[in-house]
């Protein structure tokens, strides 16, 4: 399955309600499960982004649904980057030769 890096920023509302985050974790897990998305890692970060996630998803539509469903709640917005494993990247490089 394809991999994606999600660079997440909390909205102003998300920051105001950051202490509610633990109670929102279970519904987010349900959404991930329903969309067939597997979280490889997630980190709360300092700097430009508040949260960085690496996920594996069946397709781009699943990641789009995840991003939109979270944006509609008004707590966070995500920038999504398609990502490639070393072996996937290596295969592309080999095909160039």
- Residue 25, token pair as written in the block: 């974790």
Report the candidate in 42, 30, 33 with the shortest Cα–Cα distance to residue 4.
42
Answer yes or no: is pLDDT of 66 > 90: yes
Answer yes or no: is pLDDT of 4 > 90: yes
Q: Which tens digits make up the pLDDT trace of 9-48?
A: 999 999 999 998 888 888 899 999 999 999 999 999 999 9
- pLDDT the model gives residue 21: 85
User: Model-level pTM greater than 0.75?
Assistant: yes
6: helix, strand or coil: strand
CA distance 59 to 44: 25
Query: Per-residue pLDDT averaged across 75-89, rounded?
Result: 95
Domains in the chain: ranges and CATH: 3-96 (3.30.70.920)
CA distance 72 to 14: 12
- pLDDT the model gives residue 25: 84
- pLDDT the model gives residue 30: 93
- pLDDT the model gives residue 26: 87
Q: Residue 76: which residues within 8 A CB-CB, separation 6 or more?
A: 8, 9, 10, 11, 14, 50, 51, 70
């Amino acid at each position: 399955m394809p991999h994606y890096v999600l660079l997440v920023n909390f909205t102003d509302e998300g920051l105001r309600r950051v202490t509610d985050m633990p109670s929102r974790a279970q519904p987010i897990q349900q959404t991930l499960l329903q969309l067939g998305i597997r979280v490889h890692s997630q980190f709360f970060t300092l700097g430009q982004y508040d949260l960085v996630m690496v996920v594996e998803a069946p397709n781009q539509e699943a990641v789009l649904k995840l991003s939109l469903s979270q944006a509609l709640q008004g707590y966070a917005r995500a920038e999504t980057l398609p990502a490639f494993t070393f072996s996937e990247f290596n295969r592309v490089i080999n095909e160039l030769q």
